Amino acid sequence: MSKVILDVVSFGTAYQFDLTEYWVRPAADKCGYDLVEYSIYDPGIRTFEILGKGYPPWVEEIRSGKNKWDLRHCLDEAAFVPGGDEVFAEFPERRVAGVPEHLQFPRCLPPIQFCYVLTWRRDLLGSKIIPNWETFFDIQRVPGKRAVRDLPHGMIEVALHALGRNVREELYDPTLTREQITGQVDDALAMFDRLGTDIHWWGGSYQMHEALVNGEIVMGAAWNRRVMRASQALQPGVSHGDALIQANAKTAMLLCDWWLIPKGTGNEEHANRLLECMYTDKDVLKSAARWCVSQSNLIPTEYMPIDDEFTRYHLEMGSWKNPEYVLDINPQFWGKNYTWIAEYWKKWLTSKKNAR
């Protein structure tokens, strides 16, 4: 019998290389599977070919039999895309120990959990100020440049929360009409309009990193891991309590990436077996802990011992272990609504930039 070969793909670069070497490959070895290779010298070669074009083209590739991936690491808008039941394999009986119940779905499993969190430069903002999302938009009382991601996912929630809205009821409720959701999005955009020209837009998280380290911003909406890396770059060896770059755990909005198994490859059961080994085998999880510490908060976190207090503080801020987090960003909502909201956001953002 020929050996099973699985084509597993993530976001490319060193991120995917470490993910594969520390987590996926040890599980594949345990299962007796081979992985389609990619070169460490060109770590982007196995990345998404359609990244940036959205996930609907990949869905069409699956429907037409042109898909070549057996297991893919994706974002919310792919994992919960309308019609996903037609193109992604489901395993209703799969219940993985260590994964919180609210993150268990028959079509996908979360590899990592992280968050948008409010971060700030204590030396620039003032040592006595602990900002929240309301402070973020109060440009009159607390002046200075803010960092905002140039995509709506998460940023809409930040603005609505600052307005005192119940995001779960006023944005995520599945009974809301398009018109009602549009009203909420408009209110969120009006909040960003308040900031005027005091916005530092970031797309790649390295842009957020540089703005924090260089002191170009006083505060920003950032990934929790990026806050950690920026703080390490600015003050190597500092404790989180003494760091100039701070983050407010009470502002954390949690989200996940997801593993998806496309239908029609003939390897669906093997891909699911690989996933189950990745999440349950203690030897595999011990190896995966190395990727956890270097990248983000891995799920299941019960098997992810982090000895370094500084790293643990920042990574667990972006996980369900954070007792103070404010919101789970709803993947079903973004799977259903991402495309049109992103286009709506893009038009607003273009008009804002053109008005400068």
Segment 66-85, tens digit of pLDDT = 988 999 988 887 888 888 88
What's the pTM? 0.90
**What confidence tens digit (pLDDT) does each residue in 304-325 have?**
567 788 988 898 899 888 999 9
> Which token pair is 142?
């607390």
Sign of CA dihedral 271, 275, 276, 282: positive
- Residue 37 pLDDT greater than 80, yes or no: no
Interaxial angle between packed helices 224-234 and 205-214, expressed in degrees from 0 to 180 and rounded to the nearest 10: 40
Confidence band (pLDDT; 50, 70, 90) for 47?
low
Confidence band (pLDDT; 50, 70, 90) for 48?
very low
Instruction: Report which residue type is found at 26.
Output: P
Encode burial over 266-278: b for 16+ CB neighbours within 10 A, e otherwise. Answer: ebbebbbbbbbbb
**What confidence tens digit (pLDDT) does each residue in 214-241 have?**
999 999 999 998 999 999 999 999 999 9
> Which token pair is 120?
């700030």
- Residue 121 pLDDT greater than 80, yes or no: yes
Predicted pLDDT of residue 51: 42
Cβ–Cβ under 8 Å, residues 70 and 7: yes
Dihedral angle at the C-alpha atoms of 214, 297, 273, 90, nearest 10 degrees?
A: -90
CA contacts within 13 A on the Cβ side of 219: 27
**What confidence tens digit (pLDDT) does each residue in 83-119 have?**
888 999 999 998 887 788 888 899 999 988 899 999 9
Q: What domains can you pick out in the chain, each with its CATH number?
A: 5-111+257-280 (3.40.190.10), 114-255 (3.40.190.10)
